[in-house]
Amino acid sequence: MSNQSYDASSIQVLEGLQAVRKRPGMYIGSTDTRGLHHLVWEILDNAIDEALNGYGKEIILTLETDNVIAIEDFGRGVPVEKHANGKLAIEVIYTTLHAGGKFTETGGYKTAGGLHGVGGSVVNALSQWMEVTVSRDNKCHQILFEQGGSQVGNLKLLGKTSQTGTKVRFKADPEIFGNATYSYSTITERVQESAFLLENIKFILRDWRTQEKKEEVFFYQDGIASFIDYVTIDQQPVGNPIILRGTNNKIETRVALQYTGDYQENIFSYVNLVRTKDGGTHEIGLRTAITRSFNEFARKYNVLKEKDKNFDGVDIREGLTAIIALSIPESLLQFEGQTKSKLGSPAARSAVENVVFTQLSFYLEENHDFTLDIIKRIQKAAQVREAARKAREEARKGKKGKQRERLLSGKLAKAQTNNANKNELFLVEGDSAGGSAKQGRDSSFQAILPLRGKVLNVERAKLEDVYKNEELNTLIHCIGAGAGPEFEAGDTNYKKVIIMTDADTDGAHIQVLLLTFFYRFMRPLIEAGNVFMAQPPLYRIYNKKEAHYCYTEEQLQDFREQMKSYEIQRYKGLGEMNPTQLWETTMDPSSRTLLKVSIEDAYKASNMIHILMGNQPQLRRDWIEENVDFDGRE
């Protein structure tokens, strides 16, 4: 080991808990809601570690009132005897920063059973108080910390017990996290995912913050087979779920595949229980193996003749939902990018490819008829894609320029120049707002496309359906880069595509439908950061001397307090603003606010459709309860 790493780790230990409070971001990423939840994941990971080591089969997580979290496991209990340096082991783990306690090095569980309990001290440092109760050797002990980890009194004997386990309760410090609060759905999602991936552990989630004290149990003995059923519940299954698992080079791969009647390909990938939403080497290995398995099958049975090209992976994966869960030793773990949500380990690629190719090939042989059915679908998908490619090509070459002209004429108000690095396309709800926008814009670089009819819900639509829909077909032609697998980000006519809708339920609905469309059929456009939401004001407050636009209820309240006499104009829709007002408040680059749409936003929007329009009423009720604020809106 180099001196450098020795120095680095000793400094880490010496710095102590104060360092964590000084620079929380280094340890938990941020001090917003995300960082707050990170505290929960740290303690939950410790409880999971103990269960993974074979001690205890149940974990209870409780959201208590006053932003308090309690997590309990039924393992051996944290050791309470004296440590080598004279301190108690339990004091050491909650007050000493351990090597590996930095944010960048955590994030997964320690499959190799190495040092655990690593995050406990970080959580303690960032808590107003923390209480640890240990049941072990027939005794129950408790230790208490306050104000960022200072121990209050000694380890206390509470009494006798016949059970074993550890319970950690803590309240995140408001000095650090402000008034950030826990989200039941964020915690449920994580707990439920963990339950799917750890088939022998039962998770109990309680929410005691409300009157009725909710409790849910997550326990899936069929593991990822249950997981794939869950994520495809709203879709028409094609064939049975395919479950593959194996270990290669110390990397354990588990895969569940389900073909569905949808157009969409969906991959949910996990590394040591943590979602890798940006994919990485394991996903590449999976894709390669699936493509190879089908192509080799098709060659072997002469479906693909010698002269034929191989099937394209995109066509093979049309309508395929996959879950891939990797357990990988920490020594082989590498992530890419800022957020650690993309796996970089080269070994993962070949391990996954080997396991999946071997086992999937075997499955395809054993299920001959099913495989031939899927191959028919693949051929159909390839034809449709080819037709879409040709259409796009022709439109670009101008052969179908006339059709394009006809489609866009009378709808799109073009910008005067054709500068794809600067131009903006506003998608506006309705003709009346469209009229204001056309008059108010800077026509040198801003184009307006009013959306007239209802936007098609594309949650289940295929590429063919999208092209048949006049509204979406027009939009695709405006943007000029195709759609679906044939989308070419480099061909887009606009630097910014801006969704501009009324601030009411209809507007929200259109936003969700458009985001779902972009997410499903023009994902690279979102990934490149080219999709935005306009933020029109909700009110104008004015008197003889001054006038202000308010974008939130709070802003309105502030002006009400500042101004003596005033009148308020409430904007129910964009159409109520005159062109100048619309320009000033919402379209002028020097004064407007735009929200950039992230992939996560779009994913949530498309998921919301799934929840709001799918056939699971309970999901819908839960979602509305969690997300809809019934006060203060129409």
Residue numbers at the binding site for ligand 0R9 (CB under 6 A) = 43, 46-47, 50, 71-73, 75-79, 89, 93, 116-117, 120, 166-168
For ligand 0R9, the closer of residues 88 and 333 by Cβ is: 88
CB closer to ligand 0R9, 167 vs 477: 167
**Which residue carries 């995912």 as its tokens?**
193
Least CB distance from residue 155 to ligand 0R9, whole Å?
A: 13
State in angstroms the smallest separation of the CB of 122 from ligand 0R9.
12
**Strands (DSSP E) along 558-631, which ranges?**
567-570, 594-596
Q: Judged by CB, which is closer to ligand 0R9: 78, or 481?
A: 78
Read off the tokens for 455: 């936007």
DSSP-derived letter for residue 148 is T
Contact of 440 with 582, CB cutoff 8 Å: yes
> Do residues 75 and 164 make contact, with C-beta atoms less than 8 angstroms apart?
yes
Nearer to ligand 0R9, 143 or 611 (CB): 143
Q: In angstroms, rounded to a whole number, what is the distance separating the alpha carbons of residues 172 and 121?
A: 13
Q: Residue 629 catalytic?
A: no
Identify the DSSP state of 83: -
Q: Are strands 266-271 and 274-275 parallel, antiparallel or unpaired?
A: antiparallel
Amino acid 97 reads: L
Q: Residue 425 in contact with residue 478, Cβ under 8 Å?
A: yes
Q: Which of 488, 504, 588, 622 is catalytic?
A: 504
Report d(CA 521, CA 628) in Å as an integer.
Answer: 27
Q: Which residue's CB comes closest to ligand 0R9?
A: 117
For tokens 């826990």, name the residue: 182
Distance, CA of 443 to CA of 551 (rounded, Å): 25
**Residue whose pair of structure tokens reads 């710095």 in the numeric block:** 15
The identity of residue 469, as a single letter, is N
Least distance (Å) from ligand 0R9 to the CB of residue 80?
9
Catalytic option among 91, 429, 459, 486: 429
In the complex, the smallest distance separating the C-beta of residue 480 from ligand 0R9, rounded to whole angstroms, is: 54
User: Is 502 labeled as catalytic in the residue annotation?
Assistant: yes
Give Cα 78 to chain centroid, integer Å.
33
Judged by beta carbon, residue 47 or residue 355, the one nearer ligand 0R9 is 47
User: Residue 320 half-sphere exposure, CB side, CA atoms within 13 Å?
Assistant: 23
> What are the structure tokens assigned to 408, written together?
């866009």
Shorter beta-carbon distance to ligand 0R9: residue 47 or 458 = 47
| Residue of 105, 175, 431, 506 marked active site | 506
User: Which tokens belong to 301?
Assistant: 């049975």
- 504 is an active site residue: yes
Task: Examine the residue annotation and report whether 506 is marked as an active-site residue of this protein.
Answer: yes
Say whether 123 sits in a helix, a strand or coil: helix
| Closest CB 181 distance from ligand 0R9, rounded Å | 21
Least distance (Å) from ligand 0R9 to the CB of residue 82? 12
Those residues whose C-beta lies under 8 Å from the C-beta of residue 117, and which sit 6 or more positions away, are 46, 49, 78, 93, 98
CA distance 402 to 524: 28
Smallest gap from Cβ 117 to ligand 0R9, in A, equals 3
**Which of 137, 601 has the CB closer to ligand 0R9?**
137
Annotated catalytic residues are: 429, 502, 504, 506
